[in-house]
Structure 1
């Protein structure tokens, strides 16, 4: 966290100097706002990040030709923030605008085109459109295999994301294989406490959980949490995801008090880090509801399932499986009351 604060201080000081020395729509001012937005995004302060990126985009629209690659960078950065805020349709629109510009401005196997395909794939995962997501990730991987060395972290990212799609589609052995390939690269390419290593351990844990191997899942989730606690700010959304996943495994192992504690810690972080109707809130509420269901506290379970349903119906496409899942949970718990 200290490194982010220091970086933010330097970027803000640079911006002050540029405001004095340069014209108000100079491209270097846009660059400063973009850097500040990047730091806020890494800190999980998404509304501040969005404000900085939008200021950068305003300047670039005035200062640059309409298909300049820096405009694509701005749209891409805005898409990242919207995705982190759970506003997936806005994220998709921004990413697609970025891709349109990059297709015109860049050669066909350029690194940034791969990034665009990857980011669009991530939004499709969030929206539950898994076949579209896989197509995007595979296109991204094709480009990165041509453009990058074999152990580059971005290749690891592609394998990781393809694993996520297989996981969502119920093909858990394929998911595990992709996740392990990603981890192999990250162990070579990254320092030992890098957040992307934590993400690999988390995803391998998810695959083992889905395969019913709960003790293995817990081991990988704990590796993820150990790194994340060192690498991330204390209220970062990724920490909330880690606690949520640990809660799921404890619930599956029948350790309900531990499960409830983990889910509640996840919810506490999300209340600080995320906007109030972010879909990830519903993951916490649904998880807590499932624990109360197992503890036979059905009225509490129903209350949390209803909270999850309301958020998911507001924030996700109506066909998303999360919505049918929570409705099923509501029906099941009502039958027990």
Structure 2
């Protein structure tokens, strides 16, 4: 079911009038829907659409409020499918913000509701399982992450464009999971499948294909396939910058991968400059305490140590440890890496 721009505009007007007050807005929204000849389902879909737009603009406070309102609207309807979609989006939003415990609670509740309701389609269950897989990759629960990704793959039902995009995303994420575990050889096949599947669905110049290429490149760097990695990154960055602009989070991620390539080629000056730009763009998008910053902080700390600046290295590693201790499992490999880096500096290097 699609939502008319007229209803979206009317719903947005009510939302803007109330701000993030949390009082009385749902009644007004349902009244707006009734005036437009639409029911609660259309209002809930409008809220989800506006929430996704706010999320994509990184207005996370507004997005979370809209997803909560959509959840509230669906409860009155008894529409489990829409409720699960709203909660999956909210859980994904919490995960993107680094609010991992809250994300797990919301996503597990969404999955339980989806499993109890036969009316919830496979596509919605796939979204929830995929979100849980991403969450557990970040927190270091790698076996659980793999289980949810593979479970989602079994739910794929056809060969439509949407099915192919979902399959590509799951292969992309399985590759990323293997990369996080340090099993680089195992990351190559799903990474290549993600690119090939997405190209069939969307064409070779789509930004989602570029993101798949940018994700496979660091795996190839670890395996010493530097020329292919450079080709993928050059192609990917051109599309990402054209689509999102030079200041976007995804541009920062691609720059970080180019920095890793420069480091591998022993071009340490360029590597430091690119990692610095990557960190700036990630901080700009995610905030100064987000767990995704830790890998870039670690890379900059390694470079600082190589450049004979142990004080800067210590500061960067201490910051990374502080961020990770608050958000990931104690056995997470990245946490172990930054702790060992800190310990290598000797006395005074505790966090």
Q: 2:115 aligns with which of 103, 117, 127?
A: 103
- Structure 2 distance, partners of 1:237, 1:78, is 20
Cα distance in structure 2, aligned partners of 1:13 and 1:287? 48
The TM-score with structure 2 as length reference comes to 0.84
How many angstroms apart in 1 are the aligned matches of 2:315 and 2:278? 18
Q: 1:282 aligns with which of 288, 294, 305?
A: 294
1:48 corresponds in structure 2 to 62
Indicate conservation of the 8 Å contact 1:15/1:29, yes or no. Answer: no
Alignment of 1:72-91 (within 5 A): 72-91=84-103
The Cα of 1:13 is off from its aligned counterpart by 4.4
Equivalent residues of 1:183, 1:200 under 8 A apart: yes
The change in CA–CA distance for 1:262 and 1:12 in structure 2 (over 3 A counts) is farther
Counterpart Cα distance in 1 of 2:169 and 2:191: 9
Q: 1:307 to 1:131 in 2, by over 3 A?
A: same
Cα deviation, 1:226-281, whole Å, max 9, x if unaligned, reads 22112225443222221222222212221112111111111221222113321122
| 2:137 match | 125
Q: Output the aligned Cα RMSD.
A: 2.7
Q: CA deviation at 1:323?
A: 1.4
- The corresponding residue for 2:20 is none
Answer whether contact 1:12 1:36 (CA < 8 A) is retained: no
2:74 is matched with: 60
SS of residue in 1 equivalent to 2:140: coil
User: Would the alpha carbon gap of residues 124 and 27 (structure 1) be closer, same or farther in structure 2, given more than 3 Å must change?
Assistant: same
Deviation at 1:210, TM superposition (A): 1.9
Closer/same/farther in 2, CA of residues 130 and 212 from structure 1, 3 Å limit: same
Report whether the alignment pairs 1:30 with 2:27. Answer: no
| 2:327 corresponds to 1:330 | no
Partner of 1:176: 188
Residue-by-residue CA offset, 1:304-331 (whole Å, 9 max, x unaligned): 1111111111222222222111011112
Counterpart check, 1:142 vs 2:139: no
- Consecutive unaligned residues in structure 1, runs of 5 or more: 1-6
* RCO comparison, higher one (Cα < 8 Å, 6+): 1
Deviation of the 1:334 alpha carbon = 3.4
Distance 1:49 1:236, change over 3 A: farther
Cα displacement (A) at 1:33: 1.7
| Contact 2:70–2:83, Cα closer than 8 Å, also in 1 | no
Deviations 1:41-98 (A, max 9, x none): 222332221122122222223x222x62111111001011111111122112211111
After superposition, the Cα gap between the structure-2 partners of 1:11 and 1:272, relative to the gap in structure 1 and judged at 3 Å, is farther
- 1:208 to partner: Cα distance: 0.6
